[in-house]
């Protein structure tokens, strides 16, 4: 691990998570504990040796812990409280990085569960709702829900119980809608807004009223 040797919070943070792949490993674990093999699949381009090295470094820094899986001898990796505290800066970087989408070509890798981190990052500053709201997200058969209440957003994996409505769209369209690049009216044309507790018309109205 490199050390800048600077009495500066930013430099100290980069001492810990500034190496390539480190923050992407944290992104994977923000969606829940993972096996090594699961992270390999979700981090294309990161060799097994490099992934093992990053996990060791993050463990030594107190951001990740390793525990035995209850279903067998293989380990599960999960974030410590210090690791989970990276959610806020990662969400800021997700929003900041979005400005480069139009400038970059060849962004072919995508995993639907990445949206479990991106969705709250992109919607948190747009939320203007006054009533609780539960949205089911269905992206290429990967299901999770967003539950808004007050200033909090809870991300829950799997199928939600009685969501207000469902957004069912491909990955790229989901990213566009969440970020605001695609207007909510796009959902009318794509049939990507499915009724739940609310009908389609009320779902569209609530979307527009709840997010800037």
pLDDT value of residue 73: 64
Query: Average of pLDDT values for 63-80?
Result: 85
Phi and psi at 104, nearest 5°, equal: -105, 135
Token pair 């009318």 is at which residue?
188
In terms of Cα–Cα distance, which of 186, 192, 182, 184 is closest to 210?
184
Encode pLDDT of 118-171 as tens digits.
Answer: 999 999 999 999 999 999 999 999 999 999 998 899 999 999 999 999 999 999
Structure tokens at 8: 């500066």
pTM over 0.75? The answer is yes
Domains of the chain: 9-85 (1.10.10.10), 112-210 (3.30.1050.10)
List, for residues 9-21, the tens digit of each pLDDT value. 999 999 999 999 9
DSSP track, 169-183: --HHHHHHHHHTSS-
Q: Are 175 and 117 in contact (CB under 8 A)?
A: no
The CA–CA distances, whole Å, from 19 to 8, 22, 25, 127, 203 equal: 17, 6, 11, 33, 43
- Give the pairing of strands 142-149 and 193-195: unpaired
Percent share of the chain, pLDDT over 70 = 97
Cross-strand bridge partners of residue 142: 139
Length of the chain (residues): 212
């Amino acid at each position: 691990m490199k050390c800048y040797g600077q009495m500066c919070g930013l430099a100290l943070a980069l001492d810990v998570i500034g190496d390539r792949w480190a923050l992407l490993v944290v992104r994977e674990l923000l969606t829940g504990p993972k096996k090594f093999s699961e992270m390999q699949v979700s981090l294309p381009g990161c060799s097994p040796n490099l992934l093992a090295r990053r996990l060791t470094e993050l463990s030594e820094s107190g951001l990740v812990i390793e525990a035995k899986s209850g279903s067998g001898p293989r380990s599960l990796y999960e974030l410590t409280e210090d690791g989970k505290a990276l959610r806020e800066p990662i969400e800021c970087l997700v929003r900041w990085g979005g400005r480069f989408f139009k400038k970059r070509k060849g962004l072919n890798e995508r995993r639907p569960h990445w949206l479990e981190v991106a969705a709250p990052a992109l919607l948190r500053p747009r939320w203007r709702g006054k009533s609780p709201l539960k949205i089911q997200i269905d992206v290429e058969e990967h299901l999770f829900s967003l539950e808004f209440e007050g200033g909090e957003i809870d991300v829950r994996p799997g199928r939600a119980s009685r969501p207000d409505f469902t957004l069912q769209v491909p990955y790229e369209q989901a990213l566009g809608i969440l970020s605001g690049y695609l207007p909510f009216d796009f959902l009318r044309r794509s049939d990507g807004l499915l009724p739940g507790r609310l009908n389609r018309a009320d779902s569209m109205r609530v979307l527009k009223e709840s997010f800037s």
